Chain A
């Protein structure tokens, strides 16, 4: 008979200790559980200790101030997407969070969970990289901070050890004239997994000239990819069609998708370019609306 132990510590210290003391059996951290519970049901030989982080207050809140955003990784997407203040500053991040699952799922699913599950198709990861977010990680030896693009290391893999926990997601305040956007492609309108995704942040000067950009593509490589060549295609331009097409072509060229039931290599390469162009236009429009 398989027994799964469940713990719900009140503090991160306790949580880290539970994980580092657990050497005799597989353990997993539980946030919203929208990935983990599904995996538990379909896996044989899954975790035997589950550490629920939702009772730890600092995992569940979000602070937006002059330093930027400090996001508790387990705050559910429904709570995040209801935060108008955060949406105003990081609309791309919030729209990515809004794409995860249904309304019901969003009451459980979290940005931190999406990040730690480290799926190549995760919607929030390109959006987080586009806004230069970093991961504050806590473990038995203290804390460390890692950019999101370095956090995810492979398909379902990240840089955390088995006794480390993602403590906060830290996002700098965007520079003046900056806005972000995230788009994904799915064959339906919702309740699906990205065939391709693109997160874009652009900074425009008063003349509408792009002075900085970050372009990130998702679901077209083992991890979300920051594509500097795509950003370079926009910088210095007034976001004209040629610049946008060049950015799209750079994104397509940087992608290395697989053929699977959700899309072919050729389709994904094409569509990720389309999404890059469209997301860049949305981000630029957002700057102009500010």
Chain B
């Protein structure tokens, strides 16, 4: 159980250890490694969204001068279906292999069918054009509601709906059905005085990372190999590449480069096994980098969804029933984040009667990847919009309605646990009491709020702390830093060791250099890897005290550790960390400690956002004019980066609400494969996003930390779209609220 403590380093706003390298351009990202003799590769991609591959003829490409290797799916060993945990989500390794290089069928426009390595990028690009692929075109299925129709073209002949009472005998595009229920839903609605019911829709969206996927690999004569890549989880790159290529883990070393954004999109692989095959065949190192267009066409976006939500309440605001049917697009292969969507859709509320059904549906789009709280923004957009509509119908303040029904300590969550201390009520109170919520609105303006819930993850972490002879510290971790976590690691080590944060160097080791670490995802790193750091640092302190006790020839209980100095409580003799470490060779050897753990008790983080918008009544354009993000951090290790997480998630969610969407033509070709026409918000599109850090300590963490990386993307979808609804007087249930859609709503209201 955590208690209120005075911290020396925790809660400060220290300088981030990777800051100088990033600001000066010294930092090395995915595409930055060049090796002697290295080849350049390019992937051949499908021009069809759905087709059978009849033949691939690579002979002309192979004959081109400068081409050193060509790869197709025939170069991958045959592997069986097997589920592999990757970050917060899991993947079927056989599907993953087929996503890296298509076998038998192409399932989306841009699906990889072959790859070439050549002595220059220009030659590789030319060679790809020389690969001749014969296809038998099939009708693409681009929408989840089309895909579930009985007569829809089937993507996979061997995909049978899981989760039904009886195993079906005919293949389906529905990969899985899931159901959660509690109480009696019909009785719940019968008790209600007011019921709202509506369909909701969200588009396919991109995570918006700036750095394209990239790797440089080397396959050596002795079977050893090296992969340098930008990833959120290099241990998962190793595991999945090993499975696809049937290699031993010890034969693959993966080095995580600096990462230019991931947001879940870099928790899977597209290039590494392909590049390794090309390297093995050519005997040369190979660099394979996606361009922006390839990132959009062929890497994993966030799921498009169609949802139906029904909520009933008594006149006093007590919600009596919540029901939802959620359809998630998985893209080309099964495995959308439908399950977390089902598990979190109504979780902010303590309601007696709940029924949720979810469907994971394949369509001819790229296989979706994780995107910040995968599955939650889509589901909670629908649920929170319904709550806002219900508040309107009840003529109740939407915060009061939520407070009346909010989950709190002791509430039984529908997905399993009974909540320990959680901060939803505190976040709602902070919203209610904010200057923002009390401020007046002008003409054409609207305000709304929404809550968000995300589980957070623990998973496995391993760290080593090495004391240098001068008393400085190297913290060796294996969690790629996507949000300033190195700073947090150094601060937690500093707090435990009593050694200044500037003397602590956190590094992210490769897969050979530290024990296993799960992917950075699920807001787990500061929580779980931080726990390992705390444990290892406490071990270091114990060892230093032992060394001091030995020097003074006293028992261990006569040694105190104060601000990085051992103090002899009998005579007040002192030995600094530097003195102990300098003498370590003669007192028992170098001082080092390790910790490996699977962290339990990741505390959920709730968020509540308040959004004000102004709508141009003539064009339908929406400007966000004021925005406040409130969230429970448990304990903010580095408040600046916690605020950054709140603001970043809010910015992404605002983009999702207003302008972001993949636009496909009737042939399943993405029309806006770039940042010109896939419109993420610019700095000038956003107001300064105000933040409030609520701290309800997580009882399972020594400092009370909760993961903070994801919940902030959940509320903006409903908060912004409901604010638009309030500004124009028409319910917006389809995202994005782009100018043409909003103008149409205004015109329909006026007609």
A positions within 8 Å CB-CB of B: 1-2, 44, 185, 187-193, 195, 260-264, 267, 270-271, 274
Contact = CB atoms under 8 A, between A and B. Distances in A.
B672 interface: yes
A189 B672 contact: no
Interface string B653-696: 00000110001000000011000110101101100000000000
A187 B122 contact: no
A190 B671 CA distance: 21
Contact of B739 (A187, A189, A190, A260): A187
A188 B739 contact: no
Nearest to A274: B618
B659 A261 contact: no
B740 interface: yes
B85 interface: no
B468 interface: no
Contacts of B107: none
A187 B677 CA distance: 10
Contact of A192 (B123, B618, B663, B679): B679
Interface in B121-162: 122-123, 129
Q: 9 closest pairs, A vs B, by CB?
A: A189-B684, A267-B740, A274-B618, A261-B671, A261-B663, A187-B659, A189-B685, A188-B685, A261-B672
B34 interface: no
B685 A263 contact: no
A187 B685 CA distance: 10
Given A187-B739, A264-B740, A267-B739, A193 B676 contact: yes
Interface in B438-469: none
Contacts of A190: 682, 684
A102 B389 CA distance: 40
Contacts of A263: 740
Given A187-B679, A263-B740, 15 more contacts: A187-B658, A188-B684, A189-B682, A191-B676, A193-B677, A195-B739, A261-B663, A261-B671, A261-B677, A264-B740, A267-B739, A267-B740, A267-B743, A270-B743, A271-B619
Question: Which of B129, B658, B671, B739 lies at the interface centre, i.e. has the most chain A CB atoms within 10 A of its CB?
Answer: B739
A256 B450 CA distance: 41
Interface of B: 122-123, 129, 618-619, 621, 658-659, 663, 671-672, 676-677, 679, 681-682, 684-685, 738-740, 743
A261 B671 CA distance: 7
Contacts of B658: 187
A260 B663 CA distance: 10
A46 to B, nearest CB: 13
Given A1-B122, A270-B743, A188 B677 contact: no
11 contacts: A44-B129, A187-B621, A188-B681, A188-B685, A189-B685, A191-B682, A192-B679, A261-B663, A261-B672, A262-B677, A270-B743
A272 B685 CA distance: 22
Contact of B679 (A185, A188, A274): A188
Nearest to A275: B619
A188 B682 contact: yes
B122 A192 contact: no
B659 to A, nearest CB: 5
Nearest to B677: A261
Given A261-B677, A270-B743, A271-B619, A188 B659 contact: yes
B676 A187 contact: no
A44 B126 CA distance: 9
Question: Which of A185, A188, A260 lies at the interface centre, i.e. has the most chain B CB atoms within 10 A of its CB?
Answer: A188
A189 B743 CA distance: 18
A176 B618 CA distance: 32
Contacts of A264: 740
Given A2-B122, A262-B677, A185 B682 contact: no
Nearest to B661: A261
A245 to B, nearest CB: 12
Contact of B738 (A44, A187, A191): A187
A195 B659 CA distance: 14
B398 to A, nearest CB: 27
A163 B528 CA distance: 66
Nearest to A248: B618
A195 B672 CA distance: 15
A125 to B, nearest CB: 19
Contacts of A195: 739
Nearest to A102: B682
A149 B682 CA distance: 33
Contact of A185 (B619, B663, B672, B677): B619
A270 B676 CA distance: 23
Contacts of A260: 671
A184 B155 CA distance: 43
A185 B676 CA distance: 15
A93 B536 CA distance: 65
Contacts of B677: 193, 261-262
B617 to A, nearest CB: 10
Contacts of B740: 263-264, 267
Contacts of B679: 187-188, 192
A68 B366 CA distance: 56
Contacts of A271: 618-619, 739
A188 B738 CA distance: 10
B507 to A, nearest CB: 34
A44 B125 CA distance: 10
Contacts of A185: 619, 621, 739
B649 to A, nearest CB: 19
A84 B679 CA distance: 33
A283 to B, nearest CB: 18
Contacts of B123: 1
A88 to B, nearest CB: 26
Question: Which of B619, B671, B681 lies at the interface centre, i.e. has the most chain A CB atoms within 10 A of its CB?
Answer: B619
A274 to B, nearest CB: 4
